[in-house]
Amino acid sequence: MPWRVVGRIILCGIGFVSLSATGFAIYLLMPISTPQFLDPQGHALPHSIAVVERWTINDIPQSVIIRGRDLSNPVLIWVHGGPGSSETPVVRHFNAPLEDHFVMVYWDQRCAGHSLNLFGPRPKSVKIDDYVADLGVLITGLQNRLHCGKVILVAHSWGTVPGILYTERHPENVVAYVGIGQEADTPESEKRSYAWVMNQALARGDSNAAARLALIGPPPRSNGSDWTPRDLLQRYGGQFHADLSVPKLALISATASEVNWRDVAALLFAKDYNEGIENAEAKVILDNNHLRFRVPIFFISGRFDHTVDAELAARYLDRVSAPKKAFIWFENSAHNPPFEEPRHFNTTMIEKVLPLARRVD
């Protein structure tokens, strides 16, 4: 092939990449939006809702997206994990069928996703109770905005801490609580995660990882974080059992209309703004004193979850007193059952949780 032709091919390739990058950059600068629910003629369904809003919650502007095919359906609030990791585009990708049965509320917590203000100061002092209080303001606002009564709380990972504490304190506002990857005893969970990752590194002959783990030692640690390295948990299947990863979820999210430059910035910098609450989360022990609930409680765990130890969650629920409770194992998931087994998760929500909300209505 003549060099002149090769040169043209290279230049065309560079031009295509440049145009794609420019187009993507312009796309990320656009305001976020969320698609309407349409009838076959392309008209908005009259009793549906699909809005992007910004609410001031305890003096902090926070992103709230509300979506539902029918406003008469029960309200479900997704309390995402992290801290600092909005899950809105991922939940919408894998679990959008729930919007046909619930009014879904996608809330970005303070210092997460679209609620992260990169131009504001980093929090000097933040407590878990601040997130519980934020959730309370959100629920009161939704009751006024949507003229609803009790809501369903579905919490994931870190979100299970403020989620279950709110449920315990305010059963008058909650139909049912669903904890996915429920935290119970975080210090003990991290000890188990560390031991599991070390065993995996040794069994796989991953000498670099084993040396790295030996260097930091098991928790508790006098210097540094007590968290088990998340990249190793992901590498060995303790975070995702299905063919998923954080980069894959990021790529899925990149094309969502609910995503723009704020999400990219949050992905890069949210950890810096959430260090204080991460340290508080690392000390959480729920299974000693938070045992009596006046609403139905469901825990969902992946059989291969070693990010938040699933056996500790099961032991916690055994000790819980509630009018109805159930522990549901997802046999082909690790820490992310809604995204690893979405059809099974959606069916579980519709068959086990929705009837409880209908009964309240």
Interval 323-346 mean pLDDT: 97
**In the chain, where do the E strands start and end?**
49-57, 60-68, 75-79, 103-107, 151-156, 174-180, 297-302, 325-330
Q: Specify the pLDDT at position 6.
A: 36
Interval 250-259 mean pLDDT: 88
Tokens of 44: 């908005």
Crossing angle of helices 3-29 and 261-273, rounded to 10°: 70
Whether the predicted pLDDT of 82 surpasses 80 = yes
Interval 323-344 mean pLDDT: 97
Could you report the per-residue pLDDT of 199-231, keeping only the tens digit for each? 999 999 999 999 999 999 999 998 788 999 999
Q: Specify the pLDDT at position 360.
A: 59
Could you report the per-residue pLDDT of 97-154, keeping only the tens digit for each? 999 999 999 999 999 988 888 887 788 889 999 999 999 999 999 999 999 999 999 9
Could you report the per-residue pLDDT of 46-81, keeping only the tens digit for each? 999 999 999 999 999 999 999 999 999 999 999 999
Among the residues of 185-334, which ranges form H helices?
A: 186-203, 207-216, 230-236, 246-254, 261-273, 275-281, 310-319
Residue 3: pLDDT band with limits 50, 70, 90? very low
Q: Where in the chain are the domains?
A: 1-30, 49-187+239-360
Coil vs helix vs strand at 256 = coil
Q: Specify the pLDDT at position 185.
A: 98
Whether the predicted pLDDT of 281 surpasses 50 = yes
Q: Specify the pLDDT at position 30.
A: 64
* Angstrom distance (rounded) from CA 129 to CA 54: 22
Does residue 58 come out as left (phi exceeding 0), alpha (psi in the -120 to 50 range) or beta? Answer: left
Whether the predicted pLDDT of 42 surpasses 90 = no
Interval 280-289 mean pLDDT: 94
Fold of 49-187+239-360: Rossmann fold (3.40.50)
* Angstrom distance (rounded) from CA 274 to CA 109: 11
Q: Which carries the bigger pLDDT value, residue 41 or residue 349?
A: 349
- Are 47 and 73 in contact, with CB atoms under 8 Å apart? no
Interval 309-336 mean pLDDT: 97
Whether the predicted pLDDT of 22 surpasses 70 = no
Q: Specify the pLDDT at position 29.
A: 57
Model-wide pTM > 0.95: no
